[in-house]
Amino acid sequence: MTTTLLDPTSELQPAIRQLNERLPSLAGATVGLLDISKPRGREFLDEVELQLTRLGASVRRYTKPTFTRVAPTELSQQISVECDAIIEGLAD
Amino acid sequence: MVGAKPVDTSMDCHYALIVKKDCATCRLIEPVARVLSQRFEDGLSIYVQDDPAFPAELANRIDDRELEFSFQHEIEVVPTLIRFKADRELERIYGWDKRQWQTFLDMPELGNGLPDFKPGCGSKTREPGMEELLAVRFGRAVNSARTVVIEDDEDIMEACYERGWTDGLPVVPPTPLRVTRMLTATDRPADQLLGRIPPDYAPCSVEKAAINAVMAGCKPEYFPLLLTTIEAALQEPFCMHGLLCTTYFSSPLVIVNGPIAKQIGMNSGINALGQGNRANATIGRSLQLVIQNVGGGRPGGIDRATLGTPGKYSFCFAEDESDLDWPSLAMDRGYQRADSVVSLFAGAGVQPVMDQQSRTPESLTRSLAASLRTVSHAKVFMQTDALLVLSPEHRRVYREAGWQKADVRDSLYEALRCSGDQLIRGADGIAEGIPAQFKDRLVDKFREDGLHITTAGGTAGLFSAIIPGWVASGEKGSQLVSRRMSAP
């Protein structure tokens, strides 16, 4: 006799998303930098901005209200409209 | 039941008599069954719940030990006699009332020689726990979760481990029967959505909560409180998402106030923060399992805790509300003593405070403040909330001096207030501290709503406990949340 159990998980099947096509060059591209509001994040991103600018990218800076919560939908939408690429530091 | 309408005893009716040998009334009416068997022949089926050889020597007995007929026809009492016409039930009688049976069957001589009246016995379908068992057996259970079939040669406990369902400790295997029994404790539909559980923000139904409650070891009577706990954890100010992801120690601590705590036997006394009480242990664990299994929050995955804390297995206790003049935590949050309320705090372990010498509230306050100052770091102020768990003996020091809870709180804030120049980064040769801009200001250790006070513990011991909060406390992080239980 077999035993039947009920699945305690969400039973979610993660969607498989295709990667965006890689940018041919950073020259002329707009790259977003998202500061997640962790201490000293700004200094770190200043350096990243400098490096990107040297490669010819123009950089836009964004800030999440708090690192403890996911970014507001409006912010994600704004970034997707204004940028060709985004760099987000997820955590420390 | 028999009404005033004319009795339909025409020969195209069919009768079902449901009995069990264990019932003295059923044995009493055995001669009646024999008379009916002779009269109706194939028009009578006798369903026997326990002994298929009862009533003796009758051809139209049907073995109903599986209780399918009794369950499908919702038999509550044996004997029950049902009249069908074209497979549709017309009416039924139960127990033994001689006149009623005679009228029902239009047989004025039936049962002569038997007593006039003898009440029936409970149907086997009504034995404790049987209803859910039969619902599962005959496909009436409401389970909609995916089923996982474990083969005979597989160990069930190991199967739960291998599927990643546990927190490292064994779980109770969530069989459909156990889950169905859990669901009977609430009136809420199994498919009702409680909310979306972070970090995956996966929908959590009442049934998914029940499955995880079974695994954690909950009794069904805890389940309504657990549902309220899950809903409290999903309130926005609690910030469950960030709390799960953080590198810090914190994790949900469940504090229970009001009548429900005693009703389900929670511990607020000796070893209240420790092991040994089933309700305390399994309610806290259920919440963690829901976050892990439904929300997908796993250590090393989205849960990035550097060290964690043992409270991440389970952290739940009830407040000692024996002193009716001392407001409970829930009352501090605006609820009444009679409300059953669950509060959630982003707790990071237990920090003991020993003070066996203070006999005045002033001394005890300074003593507690000295320990509270070290929450998260002795030089980090206004950042981390705390829950102070006063033991009954420490509370008595305040009570005997006539202090109210608000006095304790205010005096602690005052005792903790500190000049910023001692706290700024670099002060005292320690790089950690508050920003230099606070150098010339008096600074509070806790934000305005950042220190909560509750009571628990055994009546002997001049010890209290500090439960430090999350370093991301307040509006940008987690705040203590409370939720009142509604009807089950």
Q: How far apart are the CA of A53 and the nearest CA of chain B, in angstroms? A: 31
Size of interface A-B (CB pairs under 8 A): 96
**Interatomic CA distance for residues B392 and B351, integer angstroms:** 17
| Domains assigned to chain B | 13-127 (3.40.30.10), 349-468 (no CATH)
Residue in B215, B242, B304 closest to A8 by CB? B215
pLDDT tens profile B309-333? 999 999 999 999 999 999 999 999 9
Q: Measure CA B92 to chain center.
A: 39
pLDDT at B139: 80
User: What confidence score (pLDDT) does residue B56 get?
Assistant: 87
- B296–A10: do the CB atoms touch at under 8 Å? yes
pTM over 0.90: no
Each of the 92 residues of chain A gets a pLDDT tens digit; together they read: 799 999 999 998 767 788 888 899 999 999 999 998 888 888 999 999 999 999 999 999 999 998 888 889 999 999 999 999 999 876 66
Interface probe for B, chosen from A12, A40, A68 (most Cβ of B below 10 Å), is A68
Quote the ipTM score: 0.83
Nearest C-alpha of chain A: how many angstroms from B241? 7
Q: Which residue of B has its CA nearest to A13?
A: B202
Q: pLDDT at position B8, please? A: 67
pLDDT at position B10 = 65
d(CA B261, CA B222): 10
Which residues of chain B register pLDDT less than 50?
A: 1-3
Of A2, A6, A91, the CB nearest to B174: A6
- pLDDT, mean over chain A: 89
**Confidence at residue B9, expressed as pLDDT on a 0 to 100 scale:** 64
Predicted local confidence at residue B3, as pLDDT = 46
Amino acid at B129: G
Burial degree of B155 (CB within 10 A; 0-12, 13-18, 19+): exposed
φ, ψ dihedrals at B484, nearest 5°: -85, 140
User: By a Cβ cutoff of 8 Å, what residues of chain A touch chain B?
Assistant: 1-12, 37, 65-70, 91-92
Kindly report, residue by residue over B114-152, the tens digit of the pLDDT. Answer: 999 999 999 999 998 898 899 888 887 777 899 999 999
Q: Between chains, do B247 and A91 touch, taking CB under 8 Å as contact?
A: yes
Share of chain B above pLDDT 70, in %: 97
Q: What is the pLDDT of residue B230?
A: 98
